[in-house]
Amino acid sequence: MTLAKGGADMTQFTHRRCGFTLIELLVVIAIMGALMAIMFPSLKKARQSAKDTQCLNRIRSIYVAYSNYVQDFERFPALNNDEDDGAWQYNYNIFDGRDHDENFGPLINGRSLDDAKVFFCPVQKDPYHMFNDRMNPWPAIMPRDSRAGYGRRYGMSGKSFSQFKTTIGFVADLIHLPSVIKSAHKTGVNAVYTDGHGRWVKDPGIFMDNELAHPFDLLGNSIIEDIWDAIDHAK
């Protein structure tokens, strides 16, 4: 034992302290909290960007599936069961309570697509347009509709890509009630065009500020036409 002057034990001065003090621990926690506060908005933005990209890729997959279908049958399937596509707002069905013969149905019914999730936007929160929600079951349950999270353009039934001489919008996030559009990307829609390219289309005002209502009515077709025209002009 080493004694200092006066007989004090020197080991009590040379003993090394282990671990953190409470103050040091609180400082570390405060630093971690500050870093998380800085990083969290960036991480949230990155996740949102990834979902937006996934959405556009899904719409592109629908375009490819339609291309294969048209190659086999030389025409697009009907948009719905109504003459001249009826109310153009009714543009999203996979199964209409009776069959898969219209709109997206022929693409998934043992033909071009294997996974029905392709028809659903990953950010859409409306329960009637989410994949396999209790309000929108999949596989389809008769006599209920199974609704996609995307919509196809009117006026294409029975035609083929070659009949459209200019590039126009083809499939997009739901062209629907303003509340349904707001429940997805909020500030616009993803769209793919008849030449196969896709892009983000920022709302010029009409997407989420219009008089579309439910139940659907032929009177709403002029609004649907204006919305698709806005998508066309963004190409």
pLDDT per residue over 29-84, tens digit each? Answer: 888 888 877 776 766 777 888 999 999 999 999 999 999 999 999 999 999 989 89
What's the pTM?
A: 0.82
Give the whole-angstrom CA distance, residue 70 versus residue 1.
95
The position carrying tokens 């036409």 is 225
Kindly state the average pLDDT of the residues 91-98.
92
Give the whole-angstrom CA distance, residue 66 versus residue 112.
8
Q: How far are the Cα atoms of 143, 159, 196, 232 from residue 192, in angstroms, in the given order? A: 31, 18, 6, 10
Q: Find the distance separating the first CA and the last CA of the chain, reported in whole Å.
A: 87
Cβ of 189: how many Cβ atoms within 10 Å?
Answer: 28
User: In the prediction, which pLDDT does 102 show?
Assistant: 93
Kindly state the average pLDDT of the residues 175-185.
92
User: In the prediction, which pLDDT does 9 show?
Assistant: 53
The structural domains of the chain, with segments of one domain joined by +, span 21-233
Give the whole-angstrom CA distance, residue 206 versus residue 28.
50
User: In the prediction, which pLDDT does 40 show?
Assistant: 67
Give the whole-angstrom CA distance, residue 149 versus residue 16.
64
Task: Pick the closest to residue 62 from 172, 225, 168 (CA basis).
Answer: 172
- Strands, E, within the chain: which ranges? 93-96, 145-147, 150-152, 169-173, 188-193, 198-202
Alpha-carbon 141 to chain mean position: 24
Torsion sign, CA atoms 224, 226, 228, 230: negative
Higher pLDDT, 99 or 127: 127
- For residue range 103-150, list pLDDT tens digits in order: 999 998 666 788 999 999 999 999 999 999 999 999 888 888 999 999
User: In the prediction, which pLDDT does 39 show?
Assistant: 72
Q: Provide the pLDDT confidence category of residue 28 given band limits of 50, 70 and 90.
A: confident
Q: Is the Cβ–Cβ distance between 79 and 37 less than 8 Å?
A: no
Which conformational region is residue 140 in: left (phi greater than 0), alpha (psi within -120 to 50 degrees), or beta? beta
